[in-house]
Structure 1
Amino acid sequence: MTTIIDVAKQAQVSKSTVSRVISGNGYVSQESREKVLDAMEALAYSPNLIARNLQSGETKTIGFLAHGFIDPLGIFLESFISIAKKYNYYVTLYFTGSDKKKEIEALNQMKYKQLDGLFILTRANKWEIIEPYSIYGPIATWHRIDSERIYSSYVDHYSGYLRSLDYLFQRGYRSIGHVLGNYENLNTKARIKAIDDFHQTKNLSFNDEWIFYDKSRLDNGLSIAQRWHNMTEKTDAMAFYTDSVAAGFISELQNLGYSVPEDVAVIGFDNSEISRLMHITTVDYSIKRQAENSFIYIHNQLNQEKIPEQEMNVKLIERQTVPLRKL
């Protein structure tokens, strides 16, 4: 079997020079690099990455865990991969389909030294089951979680959602429906508090029928549109926790003969591509920087560095689904 020593002899350079060419780390002159590459080709040498990983104790690979495709995934994954590449890390994507066993299998990749760290976009198991795996490598998530063992890049959904409701109020809307995520999530609880505070501050009446909970995101925009259609007291605006469900709601309302925003105003949350394509007013809560900060945390933990995190801001993006309403 051809070794790195054989390549060094063939190229007439040192073993360390060959190592720097293979790893991409450290300075190598163009002349020496070409000699090494020519020698590798002549000897049909292929670096033994597995052996190298075992020796160094790292794979330079971060796992990215999700149930499947959801609307923010594209933005988040693209940003995460981009910054990982900047620091010479690879990203492996795991789709679990909400299967708890498959999620544990992915977590075990850290235990068996096949991943250096893990980012969780969506989870199947409870946090108390996931947390112990942090002894094998750093774990980050964008979910809001109070944990000393798992990093969270969350933004304050209370202030972001309250801003959405204030905006709707300023535009003339008084009966507002709310489409929220899983009730157990801390972000959902923060939004519920924002709803309570908003109605108390504005002295507005509230109907329990105006709150909808969505656990899966799959086709729920359609079912919420049908429920809105059957309401005896329809809201004049709907605030969604994610753009993809808002888009499904708008699409189904059109099938039912309604028009947005003429019949009901809609505001989303994410500022994802679908909101831009469908001209949905939405809230941008720094998904890209959430992704960057999650990777920075993992990188800092693995390399004992202190790269500063990016500042995150919440911005309202005005488009066409929340027109000014005459009272």
Structure 2
Amino acid sequence: MTTIIDVAKKAQVSKSTVSRVISGNGYVSQESRKKVLDAMEALSYSPNLIARNLQSGETKTIGFLAHGFIDPLGIFLQSFISIAKKYNYYVTLYFTDGDKKKEIDALNQMKYKQLDGMFILTRANKWEVIEPYSIYGPIATWHRIDSERIYSSYVDHYSGYFRSLEYLYQRGYRSIGHVLGNFENLNTKARLKAIDDFHKEKNMPVKNEWIFHDKARLDNGRTIAQLWHKMSTKTDAMAFYTDSVAAGFISELQSLGYSVPEDVAVIGFDNSEISRLMHITTVDYSIKLQAENSFIYIHNQLNKEIIPEQAMSVQLIERNTVPPLKQIKEQ
């Protein structure tokens, strides 16, 4: 096996010169650099990255775990990569398609010194399975979890969802449907509490048939539109936990001959690109800042620094799927 010593002999330079060329750190003259590169090519030499990482203790690379494409992924990934670049880190994306073994394989890259840390957008394994991997590197997520070993950059979904229901109520809506995500998630539990508290405060009944559970995101907005279409007593507004499902709902309703917001008002959650393209009223809960704060946590843990996190907020974005209050009063 060709070693760095063989390259140095072939190039007629010192071992430290070869090392500086490979690492990119330190000054090397153009002439010496060319000699080293020519020698590496002639000897088919490939640096042992595992050995280098073990020696330096870092790879300057953060893993980014997701099942696959979901609507907020683009915004989150772009923001995460942008701030990582600012601090001279690379980001490696792992799509697992919900496969638990693939997820463990990705997490093991920290154990094998191929990654310095990991961000989890969507997970396949339970948190108690993931938590032990934090001994190999810092782990962050945007999921709302209570853990001393995994950082969570969550925003309180209770206040954001309660605000969206209050917004609909002020515009005269009294039968509001709710489309929620995984019932095991703490964010979903926060929304359920917001629904319960809101209806108690307004002394309004909430019917079980008004609460829809979205399991897979893909095409479920269309399925929920079909269920809404068949309801004997339809809700006059629908609140969604994510914009992508709200968009599917609107698209299917239009194919069925309905109009939004004339037949039913719609409010989403994310302020993602699809909400902007389809002019969906939505709730912005600082996805970009969640991404940045997640990286800042990982960076601080790795470098023993205290870069301050950014304050996050919840903001309602008014667009076209809920009529303006002035328009409702004029009707």
Partner residue in 1 for 2:283? 283
Asked if the contact 2:141/2:153 (under 8 Å) is kept, the reply is yes
Asked if the contact 2:260/2:266 (under 8 Å) is kept, the reply is yes
Q: Deviations over 1:71-125 (max 9, x none)?
A: 0001111111111111121111111111111111111111222211111111111
CA 1:23–1:201: 2 relative to 1, 3 Å = farther
User: Which amino acid counterpart does residue 300 of structure 1 have in structure 2?
Assistant: N
Q: TM-score, normalised by structure 1?
A: 0.90
* Separation in 1, partners of 2:102, 2:313: 34
Partner residue in 1 for 2:260? 260
* Separation in 2, partners of 1:6, 1:320: 66
Partner residue in 2 for 1:181? 181
* Separation in 2, partners of 1:110, 1:234: 51
Partner residue in 1 for 2:312? 312
* Separation in 1, partners of 2:29, 2:83: 26
User: Which amino acid counterpart does residue 192 of structure 2 have in structure 1?
Assistant: I
Task: Could you tell me which runs of 5 or more consecutive residues in structure 2 were left unpaired when the two chains were aligned.
Answer: none
User: Which amino acid counterpart does residue 192 of structure 1 have in structure 2?
Assistant: L
User: Which amino acid counterpart does residue 95 of structure 1 have in structure 2?
Assistant: F
Partner residue in 1 for 2:121? 121
Task: Could you tell me which runs of 5 or more consecutive residues in structure 1 were left unpaired when the two chains were aligned.
Answer: none
* Separation in 1, partners of 2:122, 2:321: 28
Give how far 1:203 is off.
2.1
1:204 counterpart SS class: coil
Asked if the contact 1:4/1:18 (under 8 Å) is kept, the reply is no
Asked if the contact 1:173/1:236 (under 8 Å) is kept, the reply is yes
* Separation in 2, partners of 1:299, 1:91: 12
Partner residue in 2 for 1:212? 212
Give how far 1:6 is off.
7.0
Any runs of at least 4 consecutive aligned residues in structure 1 with deviations exceeding 6 A, and if so which?
4-7, 9-14
CA 1:164–1:41: 2 relative to 1, 3 Å = same
Give how far 1:172 is off.
2.1
1:239 counterpart SS class: strand
CA 1:104–1:18: 2 relative to 1, 3 Å = closer
Partner residue in 2 for 1:197? 197
Q: Deviations over 1:260-299 (max 9, x none)?
A: 1111111100010000000001111110111111111111
Q: TM-score, normalised by structure 2?
A: 0.89
Q: Deviations over 1:15-62 (max 9, x none)?
A: 48973x765667x6xxx6656654554545775544321211222211
User: Which amino acid counterpart does residue 135 of structure 1 have in structure 2?
Assistant: I
Percent identity between the two aligned chains: 79
- Could you tell which deviates more after superposition, 201-210 or 60-69? 201-210
Q: Deviations over 1:203-233 (max 9, x none)?
A: 2222221111112111110110011001111
1:305 counterpart SS class: coil
Give how far 1:65 is off.
0.7
Aligned-residue RMSD, C-alpha? 2.5
* Separation in 1, partners of 2:192, 2:107: 32
Asked if the contact 2:5/2:15 (under 8 Å) is kept, the reply is no
Give how far 1:306 is off.
1.0
Asked if the contact 1:2/1:43 (under 8 Å) is kept, the reply is no
Q: Deviations over 1:291-317 (max 9, x none)?
A: 111111111111111111111111111
The residue correspondences of 1:1-327 to structure 2 (distance < 5 A) are 3=4, 15=16, 19=20, 23=23, 34=30, 37-44=33-40, 48-324=48-324, 325-326=328-329
CA 1:195–1:56: 2 relative to 1, 3 Å = same
* Separation in 1, partners of 2:84, 2:167: 36
